[in-house]
Amino acid sequence: MAATILESLAIPCSRPGLSTSVTSGRSAAAPLATLSQFKGLRASPCRQIAVSARSTARSRSIRRRDVVCEVQGQEAALSVPDVTKSTWQSMVLESDLPVLVEFWASWCGPCKMIDPVVGKLSKEYEGKIRFYKINTDDNPDIATQYGIRSIPTMMIFKNGEKKDAVIGAVPEGTLVSCIDKFV
């Protein structure tokens, strides 16, 4: 049902890569696109904002509440591959390159905040360091083995050994300085 509702919305395109859908009160001059044109993008949680629109019949302002959903840009949708207990040895410990592993869970808000940053860095450091993520709910043995007590935790491995760890949703610069020590 949600997909049907989203597909029926018109989306004013203010600039490439970032679009906003407004349920009512949009200008007829705004360029429009449908959600189906944004393949591979994901919508962020909706929020309500106050919108002021001028009535063409009257010169006074009309205030109303509209629901607005943002579609995140392509760079935010970069996906980091998952690693599991069965692939841990071959993908992380036996890697010829350094590996950054993000320990996360689907219910974790800070994990969702850091995910686009890790995705962006995986593209920037492609060929120099590998990026993976592991769901701590699905793989508690690995999380326990490495002493994960808080998520998100980004851990760097080199030659099969844990070298460094960054805990929490930290700024991009913090992750970059940590990664640069090992590439």
pLDDT in tens, 25-38: 444 444 444 444 34
Active site residues: 108, 111
Q: State percent of the chain over pLDDT 70.
A: 58
Each as own residue / partner, the long-range contacts of residues 59-65 (CB below 8 Å, 24 or more positions apart, any chain) are 64/24, 64/25
Q: What residues does 158 pair with on adjacent strands?
A: 161
Q: 79: Cβ–Cβ under 8 A, 6 or more apart, which residues?
A: 119
pLDDT at 158: 96
Query: Is the per-residue pLDDT at 125 higher than 90?
Result: yes
Distance CA 72, CA 146 (A): 33
pLDDT at 120: 96
What is the average pLDDT score of the chain?
73
pLDDT at 112: 95
Peptide bond into 152 cis (omega under 30): yes
Query: Is the per-residue pLDDT at 57 higher than 50?
Result: no
What is the phi/psi pair of residue 104, to 5°?
Answer: -145, 175
> Which DSSP helix (H) or strand (E) runs through 162?
strand 161-167
114 three-state secondary structure: helix
- Measured at the CA of 127, the angle between CA 104 and CA 137, to 5 degrees, comes to 15
In the chain the first and final C-alpha atoms are separated, in Å, by 46
Which DSSP state fits 43? B
Where residue 79 falls among pLDDT bands split at 50, 70, 90? Answer: confident
Q: Which of 53-57, 87-91, 118-122 has the lowest mean pLDDT?
A: 53-57
Residue in 90, 103, 92, 102 with CA at minimum distance from that of residue 158: 92
Where residue 77 falls among pLDDT bands split at 50, 70, 90? Answer: low
**What's this model's pTM, rounded to 2 decimal places?**
0.60
Q: Which carries the bigger pLDDT value, residue 70 or residue 135?
A: 135
Where residue 3 falls among pLDDT bands split at 50, 70, 90? Answer: very low
